[in-house]
Amino acid sequence: MTEIRFYPGQTKPPYQGKVRTVSDVGEFLVAETTNRISAFDVVLPPEIPYKGAVLNLMAYYFMKATEDIIPNCILDVPHPRVAIWKKTTPFKFKVIVRAFNTGSLYKNYTSKGKANPWGYELPELKKNERSPFLMVTPTTKADHGHDEDISWEEIVERNIATQKEWGYICGIALELFRCGAVMADIFGLILVDTKYEFGKDDEGNIYLIDEVHTPDSSRYWYKDTYMFSFMRKEEPKALSKEFVRKWLVDHGFQCNEGDVMPEFPPLFVREISDRYLELYQMMNLLLEEVTGEEGGSEDLYNRVCQSLEKLRQKK
């Protein structure tokens, strides 16, 4: 259970998301990335050691690497699991960019011959085959329950974003994906698909928010074994959260009515943690920032308070 903290300037309890706990402290947001893990839009029982630090520091790493493409929300990272965000109003949709016929695209559309809501005319593709072009496939951002696919036209018609805003976001999402794909290739990985979220400040400026190119928001395959697996019609070796979903499916859980949540064995929890750390290591990040001593709850609180004080002095 994540401890609920009140920081200077905070007047109401934090928002508890599936993975992040976000506190509104007035002019800023304090986002703590917990060790919680989710799948099928539900939070799973175990907490995963080091997961929060890996996600938070990877998001910071990739946001720094892409800030020439679009400004982002991160103002400071005072603790491995905590970031101070610029306050924005999030757009009520997620942008998924896809390069392969896999995941929900294959499950919901291509395997069934159904037309997709985004209007893409796809050639006949095998499962896990690379698409001839990148696809931008937005979904709603549900407060409760499951996200739903939404067309570009609906985003504008439902006043979720203006035509100009959507056009800008769509173009930026493609640029971000191309940058992430190049970086993944350097690390011996394939960026298969990923999710982006965006927010807008009071002046109408658009920012990249939440996380970017982390194993929670992205699907990665190993480059050196992908083609062999594809030719054998096997699932590619993955370095993402997808293997957790597969384990749940294999144990009879897909969050359908009547499904019983299976208990995660300790060895599988350790394997999940090791997968997150492996991706972090492959990307040449400072691993000691994750596995080193983080300090206790009081240390986290003090670091955040010091960061907030410095940021307020700058304003």
Mean pLDDT along residues 41-57? 89
Q: In terms of Cα–Cα distance, which of 197, 283, 264 is closest to 22?
A: 197
Count of CB atoms within 10 A of residue 211's CB? 26
What integer pLDDT is reported at residue 284 of this predicted model?
59
Mean pLDDT along residues 118-144? 93
- pLDDT-based confidence at 59, cuts 50/70/90? very high
List, in sequence order, every beta strand (DSSP E) within the chain.
15-16, 20-24, 28-33, 36-39, 42-47, 74-79, 82-86, 89-90, 93-100, 130-140, 189-200, 206-209, 218-222
Mean pLDDT along residues 267-275? 92
What integer pLDDT is reported at residue 287 of this predicted model?
42
Domains delineated in the chain:
15-88+268-314 (3.30.200.20), 90-231 (3.30.470.20)
Residue 292 has pLDDT above 60, yes or no: no
Give the torsion sign (CA, 242, 248, 251, 252).
negative
The single-letter DSSP state of residue 106 is I
Residue 167 has pLDDT above 90, yes or no: yes
7-17 pLDDT per residue, tens: 999 999 999 88
pTM (2 d.p.): 0.90
Give 294 or 263, the one with higher predicted confidence.
263
> Torsions phi, psi of 246, nearest 5?
-65, -40
Compute the distance between CA of residue 124 and CA of residue 31 in angstroms, rounded to an integer: 43
Lowest mean pLDDT among 25-34, 144-153, 298-307: 144-153
Helices (H), 141-254: 152-157, 163-186, 223-231, 242-250
Round the average pLDDT of the chain to a whole number and report it: 91
Amino acid code (one letter) for 213? H
Residue 75 has pLDDT above 90, yes or no: yes
What integer pLDDT is reported at residue 236 of this predicted model?
94
What integer pLDDT is reported at residue 72 of this predicted model?
98
Burial class from Cβ neighbours inside 10 Å (0-12, 13-18, 19+) for residue 23 reads buried
What integer pLDDT is reported at residue 314 of this predicted model?
86
60 within 8 A of 67, measured Cβ to Cβ:
no
Residue 196 has pLDDT above 90, yes or no: yes
| The length of the chain, given as a count of residues | 315
16-27 pLDDT per residue, tens: 888 999 999 999
Helices (H), 74-114: 103-105
Give the torsion sign (CA, 111, 156, 86, 184).
positive
Give 193 or 38, the one with higher predicted confidence.
193
Burial class from Cβ neighbours inside 10 Å (0-12, 13-18, 19+) for residue 107 reads exposed
> Torsions phi, psi of 20, nearest 5?
-105, 150
What integer pLDDT is reported at residue 2 of this predicted model?
56
37 within 8 A of 48, measured Cβ to Cβ:
yes
The two most distant CA atoms of the chain are separated, in Å, by 59
Compute the distance between CA of residue 186 and CA of residue 256 in angstroms, rounded to an integer: 39
Residue 5 has pLDDT above 90, yes or no: no
The single-letter DSSP state of residue 67 is T
